[in-house]
Structure 1
Amino acid sequence: MIVGLLAAIAILNMTTALEKARVTRAIAEIRGMEKELAKYELDNGGLPDTLTEIGWGERLDPWGSLYQYLNFATVAAGNGNGNGNGNGNAGGVPGRARKDKSLVPLNSTYDLYSMGRDGKSQTPLTAQASWDDVVRAGDGAFVGLATDF
């Protein structure tokens, strides 16, 4: 009985450590994409419509889902890919900016995030489906778990 309890504790600790490592990797990858997006914007006078244009279109997050990207200028102009997430998989929040607990947009030019462990997301960070998302907020001042913002 004690051995079983110790094994359960060890498995829980390992699972927690693995999840923290995945979040850390997603944060690092989002920071890398931010740099590529900034370079693209400097070189081209505007942000790309999709992550494919910076070489990240098929890149999976640590949980096996595509990263989500929404260029607000593209959505406002009506020339996006129709699903609002910028990468063609229709899994994100279609054409709408992510919002904080006060329903204020997280960013002014684009949203970039991972849908986290559950692979689901909704516009407000307060929605349960968004709690495990790894988000970019404050125009890059914050990248981390939605629950930490």
Structure 2
Amino acid sequence: MGEQIETAAEAIEAHALPRVHEVHSDPDAKNAKDQPVPKGVADKPVEQKSPAQWAYERTVLYLKKFEEGLDDGQEIAMGFAGTDAGVLKIEGMGYFDPDVVTFYGTDPAGGKMQLVQHVSQLSVVFRAVPKAVETEEPNRIGFKLLEDLETGET
């Protein structure tokens, strides 16, 4: 006993190489697949990663790609489905092995927020929101998160 039972889809995903397939109506749309897989992601085989680490790494790639399409007056935030919690301006992200991903940030009024999500329930809606007026440059958390992945320290 003690062996974890996986669905066929989970078994296939667990042994797959990092790959992405996307199709958009705009032929000039930039896809997550258009960016190189960071060294820190590619160096460790998928089967050696926890579900939390694997979900975190892939979410970071999507987050950075979304940010690349924002203008200087926008920053990334995430919306919540099925709740009146509003939006969370993403200022940090992490994971807690084996199966939890977390997002840190603030609400539109500046109140602190944190979302702690089990990977089996992970569903992220990225939103472009106006950047805080008092800041000169928009915060680009996706670029910082990707830099962390590239160093391979996760």
Does the alignment reach a TM-score above 0.5?
no
Relative contact order higher in (CA < 8 Å, ≥ 6 apart): 2
Q: Which has the higher strand share?
A: 2
Q: TM-score, normalised by structure 2?
A: 0.31
Q: TM-score, normalised by structure 1?
A: 0.32
Q: Which has the higher helix share?
A: 1
